[in-house]
Structure 1
């Protein structure tokens, strides 16, 4: 059974896909009411599931007429997606950042579910038994090598 965060994420993604604009604007309280949860649950979903590494931009306006705007970043070519991710990885990659990147690659249909599982296994903290910040640097280098392989061997 899916948890409430998965349900809210799925709902918001569906609204984004069905939107005729390049973004959606939501009121946190209205979404919380729809799912009968606290507004902080909506914040949690947005902060963890709609990150730049997963291909989203989020901005919010506080106050009475406040809203949260979620925009899906859509690059035209897969090679552009890979180049953008590689550039972000040059500063290192935390465990959650690596997971977000792999989920984005899966969502953008650049990798298969099998490839995603392999990538996640290779960069998991239990595999990279190194102290921080060395672990994040090694994780980043492994991901960059994988992405270069995808970019130049698949001609995407």
Structure 2
């Protein structure tokens, strides 16, 4: 089984649990045993597929009784959610991070598939790659996009 497929399976498993619960608590070694992979692959999936930009908060406790807790973020309103995403963007953003954030906005029904694809094309390395500070510019554009989305709520 390839690493990519195993990562997809781990992600799907955790998201299935999270669909019925606000949080899931796992032990890395138990998950690794369940999916017959190394514990670092569990870390990889959690670090890349359960980020704040994707609507999750991850907490961990190391040691004998250690655990990893993944919490699906819930916001009282759309504006709070967009504000949190804007803070999470920071000063730099890769093309992959932009893709994941736009996917999250689509899944939360804040943008249409067409809007997401149009903005994804705008943020692509083919467009922004001509600038020295591509990741800085991408983050700045994403923050402006999120800011504008929060104003849509008022109209």
Which band: TM-score by shorter chain? 0.7 to 0.9
Which residue of the partner structure matches residue 49 of structure 1? 49
Distance 1:127 1:5, change over 3 A: same
Query: What is aligned with 2:20?
Result: 18
Task: Write the deviation string for residues 90-120 of structure 1: whole angstroms up to 9, x where unpaired.
Answer: 5232333323321221232211222222222
Q: Any idea what the Cα deviations from partners look like across 1:76-95, whole Å, max 9, x if unmatched?
A: 21122122223344523233
Q: 1:128 deviation in Å?
A: 0.5
Separation (CA, whole Å) in 2 of partners of 1:23 and 1:148: 28
1:111/1:38 CA distance change after superposition, 3 Å: same
- Structure 2: runs of 5+ lacking an equivalent: none
Identify the structure with the greater helix proportion: 2
**Structure 1 gap ranges (5+):** none
SS of residue in 2 equivalent to 1:3: helix
2:69 aligned with 1:85:
no
Identify the residue that residue 119 of structure 1 maps to in structure 2. 119
Once residues 62 and 83 of structure 1 are traced to their aligned partners in structure 2, the CA distance between those partners, rounded to angstroms, is 31
TM, length-normalised to structure 2: 0.83
Deviations 1:36-63 (A, max 9, x none): 2222211110010011111211122222
- RMSD in angstroms over aligned alpha carbons? 2.2
Residues 90 and 28 (structure 1), Cα distance of their counterparts in 2 relative to 1, 3 Å cut: closer
The separation in 1 between residues aligned to 2:118 and 2:138, in whole angstroms, is 13
Between the aligned partners of 1:140 and 1:101, the Cα distance in structure 2 is 11
Residues 87 and 40 of structure 1, relative CA distance in 2, 3 Å threshold: closer
SS state of the match for residue 126, structure 2?
A: coil
- The separation in 2 between residues aligned to 1:45 and 1:64, in whole angstroms, is 22
Pairing of 1:62-101 with structure 2 (within 5 A): 62-89=62-89, 91-101=91-101
Query: Are 2:78 and 2:153, in contact at CA under 8 Å, matched by a contact in 1?
Result: no
Q: 1:34 corresponds to which residue?
A: 34
